[in-house]
Homo-oligomer: A and B are copies of this chain.
Amino acid sequence: MGRIFKKRTSVDEALNLFLERISTIKKTEEISLETCTGRVLAEAVISERNVPHYRRAAMDGYAVRASDTMGASPSNPVMLQLSDRVEEGTSTWVHTGALVPEGADAVVMVEDTITAGNLVEIRAQVYPGKNVGQIGEDIKKGEVVFEEGHLLRPCDIAVLASLGFGRVKVFKKPVVAVIPTGDELVSRQEERDVPPPGMVLETNGLMSSLYVKKWGGIPRYLDIVPDNPDNIKRAIEANLDADMILLSGGTSVGKRDHASEVVAALGELLVHGIGVSPGKPSALGIISNIPVVCLPGYPVAGLVSLYFFVRPGIRKLATIPEIPEPIFKKRLAAKISSKIGYINFVRVVFEGDKVRPLTGNGDRVLTSVAKADGYVLVPENVEGYEEGEEVDVFLIE
């Protein structure tokens, strides 16, 4: 009870300490193209084919020998014989994407021609190669198409399909064990009615699991563990095969808050007490090379910890390239006050062109997030923002 956080670490420092101890997962798996959206390539892809694999017409028109069109113009057209073969004085119709026949070295676009019976009037001069896609023009056999670490989007997958690939080697998704702790928790699976006074349904672990899944991990959502160091220890030890462990609850300095002590006992406690509000009681550690995040039990504080530490942690584990966070510039419809020394995570709602901060019971009320469209971060050294000031707004996903 008399315990306090010995030290408060800034968010940036805490995140750096944490990320530098996380190694990316090297385990790979082969999966089909149909299921690889959002996955990360575990090896460079080298084309085994030329694209196109034949000389391809780039326009609807007439395949010709370019030399036959010398000097052709609307006022001085050249007449060519229509034929199945292209030789001196003959021409063959081709549509876009079709094979340009042997003998031809250019295509005159249909708009520059007039057909009359067995003849075609060529009304423009073309140079050799005009409107002809050469073999390997898009992709050459042996060329690196994507590097290792490339995040696969549907347009990329279509490229792989066009090269004849059916499967790709990608990094395995990180398995994240989610351990809810707390004597006050009741499982939703067991309790259908309103729980007894003082007891609440477990929901932070569920929320964490759904975010883990959204961010590219595989959640392993475990049973509730009582507020007891031995039980918490056993739960951690039973999950040291996971790639990351989240402990939810028990992070503060109260009588029943054991999470950080247990992490320190089993491994290394990197940080306990972080300069973010809500979210201060968050703790970060490493046990047997596995990153561990202790999420505060207050749901909004837990959410902040998920955003600030679990999301980047999963990205690093999974080699998911850092995507710049989308930012919306908006003016404040009301002022924000903030505590110096803490990054303040302020929930806001869009209100026309502006955003309005949600006030009220802050971190212990998840509805303040559920009502919010996004959040504004007030830096440690800023006391707040005035009404009308422009701020950066991030979406809550």
Select one of B33, B52, B195, B365 contacting A206, CB under 8 A.
B33
- B154 pairs with A210, CB closer than 8 A: yes
- CB A204 to nearest CB in B, in angstroms, measures 7
Select one of B193, B254, B326, B395 contacting A327, CB under 8 A.
B326
In the bound assembly, the distance between CA atoms of A166 and B191 in angstroms comes to 11
Q: Given A157-B206, A159-B370, are A137 and B214 neighbors across the interface (CB < 8 Å)?
A: no
In the bound assembly, the distance between CA atoms of A156 and B299 in angstroms comes to 11
- A361 pairs with B254, CB closer than 8 A: no
Chain B residues lying within 8 Å of A326, measured Cβ to Cβ, are 326-328
- A155 pairs with B53, CB closer than 8 A: no
- B204 pairs with A158, CB closer than 8 A: yes
A51-88 interface code vs B (CB 8 A; 1 in, 0 out): 11110001010000000000000000000000000000
A348-373 interface code vs B (CB 8 A; 1 in, 0 out): 00000000000001001111011000
In the bound assembly, the distance between CA atoms of A378 and B197 in angstroms comes to 61
In the bound assembly, the distance between CA atoms of A303 and B200 in angstroms comes to 48
In the bound assembly, the distance between CA atoms of A203 and B52 in angstroms comes to 14
A190-205 interface code vs B (CB 8 A; 1 in, 0 out): 0011110110110110
Chain B residues lying within 8 Å of A236, measured Cβ to Cβ, are none
- Could you name 18 residue pairs across A and B whose Cβ atoms are closer than 8 Å? A34-B210, A53-B197, A58-B364, A60-B252, A95-B256, A96-B252, A96-B297, A97-B198, A98-B184, A138-B365, A138-B367, A154-B211, A161-B188, A161-B207, A164-B192, A164-B193, A326-B327, A326-B328
- List 13 extra interface pairs beyond A54-B198, A145-B370, A156-B370, CB under 8 A: A37-B210, A58-B364, A95-B254, A133-B361, A139-B367, A146-B370, A155-B366, A157-B207, A157-B210, A158-B203, A164-B192, A326-B326, A326-B327
